[in-house]
Structure 1
Amino acid sequence: DVQKIRLEYPNAKVVTHPECKPEICDESDFVGSTSQMLNFMRETESEEFLMLTECGLSSRLQVEFPNKRLVGSCTLCRYMKSNTLEDILRVLKNPAPRDIITIEENVRPRAKKCIEAMFQYTQM
């Protein structure tokens, strides 16, 4: 419940993905796509946020905005849970055309930063 969270974290901005329930979106400070959420966090002076989105984005935001605090919990993506080690191995060894994605040139440096951060975490 957004109202309960606002009582516990009165300074937190509630940032929501548009796939959330309409009543949640209505109570949020910002509703937008992943890139819009990133821009909102970058542009706002607020330092505390409740992200109503998938956990992976919350992890990325913690790396990208170390001076901003994320409060509350994240929601796991059901599609990520459907990945198996066998599927990952198959894609790495012999990807089908549907498995291949192309990252836009202007997005690559930021994506690389996130991937490098993931590898750094494995060294801890």
Structure 2
Amino acid sequence: MQRSELAASPLTPPEVLRDLAKDPSKMVVAGLIFNENAPPEVLRTAAATHPELRTTLGAHHNAPVDLMEQVPLAEFIPRALDSYVRQLGESADLIRHIEHEQRKLVWTGNQPPESPTVGEITRRWRQQFK
């Protein structure tokens, strides 16, 4: 099995994933994006090893909040959104707000780099509704 396949496999033990997250090959680290069981600390290490993958790794449902908050709203996926809001301890109101903001992006045609980050949307929501 190649290292990238090992990184993508949900059966790979966390200690092996920790080593793969530091791999100099971008293709190996990119395999972690597809691993359902990649732990948050592995995704953080992978983003530090390959900053060009930060946005994609931050959209993973197991990514730590600070990494998720850097993801452009247009690139955030529903499973990651649920995880993000749960990690913050916020209500479904935040999910609805972020989803509404995503729909507005589609309607207006704004895509990255113009797309605000999930963190920016969350901060605005907190200022407006909290």
TM range (shorter): under 0.3
Q: If the length of structure 1 is used for normalisation, what is the TM-score?
A: 0.27
Q: If the length of structure 2 is used for normalisation, what is the TM-score?
A: 0.26
- Higher Cα radius of gyration: 1
Structure showing the higher strand proportion among its residues: 1
Structure showing the higher helix proportion among its residues: 2
